[in-house]
Amino acid sequence: MAILSDLDLLARLVSFDTTSATKRPTRPLGDFVCEYLDHPKIRVERFDCGGDQENLWFETGPPSNGDGAGLLLCGHVDVVPATEPEWTADPFVLRVEDDRAIGRGACDMKGFDAIAINLLREAANAGSLEAPLGLLLTCNEEIGTVGAGQFATQWAGRPLPHRTVVGEPTSLQPVRGHKGHLGIAIVIGGRGGHTGFPSRGVNAIERAMPVLEGLRELRQSMVEERLDASELFPETPFPVLTVAGIDGGSAINVMPESCVIRVGVRLLPGQSAGEFLTRIQSAIERRGVSVTMMSGDLNRPLPTASEHDCLVIDLNNTPSYAIDANADFLAEVANLVDDHGSHGANFGTDAGRLVDLGCESVVFGPGNIGVAHKPNEWMPLDELARTPELLRRLIR
């Protein structure tokens, strides 16, 4: 297949609707990328993640020998929904206006993906690498870095490069840490019935009220918490708990027999999801509600609760992450742009999932996270053009 410019390759990637929230497949995009990178010096592996989702691994140069040498470029191929009415054109047709390329995923993060794909092909053509260059394209990042979590299991025990660039949009600032994101569902049971006979039922929504009070009390106390990593997040230097949704009731004349509270928690680097779940349990039980802790799965229905139950279900954990402030690789990336400040990100990335594989990641990529997940998402053309040479310096 003929070599495309980064912009033209980005247009091809944007044309694939890979919306993970609606379970759109990534396999068609994977077929295209595998054909584009069909080269005798590129090694390819495809890892099935179910539902036509897959993780893609590409590598060129000498194979990894276990010493961690080389460089790994990591990006995700899924995107968030593009259903907002404010879109001024088809979100899956890239268009260029003035100084920007507009389309769903152009910024987050198919722009980086296009650059990384072309750099891998360029390195394979040159054939002069002394250490491996890897490219990992993950699925289902936008619903909780699920694909990267699967990859950590799929790849476990095998060598790969440890120096890792996770190319999320950071406006080309080297980000050394990010918060995690813990997804929780709290299912409170009741007993349904006709509201004309209230003594015969148990109102699950009313049973949820002390649970909400416990969560609010916990959220308020968290504002005062500080860790060493707090300096990375000057705007919000504390862990954040958000009651993000409440579902309950079916009709105005039916006693609600179930109430589901959806909670998101953004933990600081150094905080344990397991320990925080214990804190949630204690906060609810202080309000007189007995709690049963459970592990769940984003792809399965929530369990049913009886009129005496309050189930706290851990659905997904995107781990927080921070590279050591004195790490050589962090300095290496910072030198590219002469930016040695301590930058953190309030959003999660695949970096935390790759720690178990020995990866030492810096989050660094073109585009502004402020326009990601919004209508008319865009990538600045100057950053798209500037990034390849910066990454070439890391490859060299």
Per-domain residue ranges for the chain?
A: 6-178+320-395, 181-318
Superfamily of domain 6-178+320-395: Zn peptidases (3.40.630.10)
pLDDT in tens, the chain (396 residues): 899 999 999 999 999 999 999 999 999 999 999 999 999 999 999 999 999 999 999 999 999 999 999 999 999 999 999 999 999 999 999 999 999 999 999 999 999 999 999 999 999 999 999 999 999 999 999 999 999 999 999 998 899 999 999 999 999 999 999 999 999 999 999 999 999 999 999 999 999 999 999 999 999 999 999 999 999 999 999 999 999 999 999 999 999 999 999 999 999 999 999 999 999 999 999 999 999 999 998 888 999 999 999 999 999 999 999 999 999 999 999 999 999 999 999 999 999 999 999 999 999 999 999 999 999 999 999 999 999 999 999 999
For the packed helices 381-395 and 111-126, what is the interaxial angle rounded to 10 degrees?
Answer: 40
The reply to whether omega before 294 is within 30° of 0 (cis) is no
170 vs 271: CA distance, rounded Å: 23
What secondary structure, in 3-state letters, does the chain show? CCCCCHHHHHHHHHCCCCEHHHCCCCHHHHHHHHHHCCCCCCEEEEEEEECCEEEEEEEECCCCCCCCCCEEEEEECCECCCCCCCCCCCCCCCEEECCEEECCCHHHHHHHHHHHHHHHHHHHHHCCCCCCEEEEEECCCCCCCHHHHHHHHHCCCCCCCCEEEECCCCCCCCEEEECCEEEEEEEEECECCECCCHHHCECHHHHHHHHHHHHHHHHHHHCCCCCHHHHHCCCCCCCEEEEEEEEECCCCCECCCEEEEEEEEECCCCCCHHHHHHHHHHHHHCCCCCCEEEECCCCCCCCCCCCCCEEEEEEEEECCEECCCCCHHHHHHHHHHCCCCCEEECCCCCHHHHHHHCCEEEECCCCCHHHCCCCCCEEEHHHHHHHHHHHHHHHC
- Minimal CA–CA distance to 280: which of 297, 265, 295, 258? 265
Distance CA 84, CA 113 (A): 24
pTM value is 0.93
Q: Please give the CATH topology (third level) of the domain spanning 181-318.
A: Alpha-Beta Plaits (3.30.70)
Q: Tens digit of pLDDT for each residue in 137-183?
A: 999 999 999 999 999 999 988 999 999 999 999 999 999 999 999 99
For the CA atoms of the chain, what is the radius of gyration? 23
CB neighbours of residue 98 within 10 Å: 7
Q: What pLDDT, on the 0 to 100 scale, is given for residue 297?
A: 85
Cα dist from 300 to 138, 165, 258, 296, 297, whole Å? 21, 32, 17, 8, 5
Longest CA–CA span in the chain (Å) reads: 80
As given in the structure block, the two tokens for residue 377 are 């998402």
Edge-to-edge strand ranges of the sheet holding 95-97: 95-97, 100-102, 378-380
For the stretch 331-343, what's the b/e string if a residue is b when 16 or more beta carbons lie within 10 angstroms of its beta carbon? eebbebeeeeeeb
Among the listed residues 101, 123, 108, the one whose alpha carbon sits nearest the alpha carbon of residue 11: 101
Measure the N-to-C terminal CA separation of the chain; round to a whole number of Å: 26
Active-site residue list = 78, 141
Q: Is 197 exposed, middle or buried (0-12, 13-18, 19+ CB in 10 A)?
A: exposed
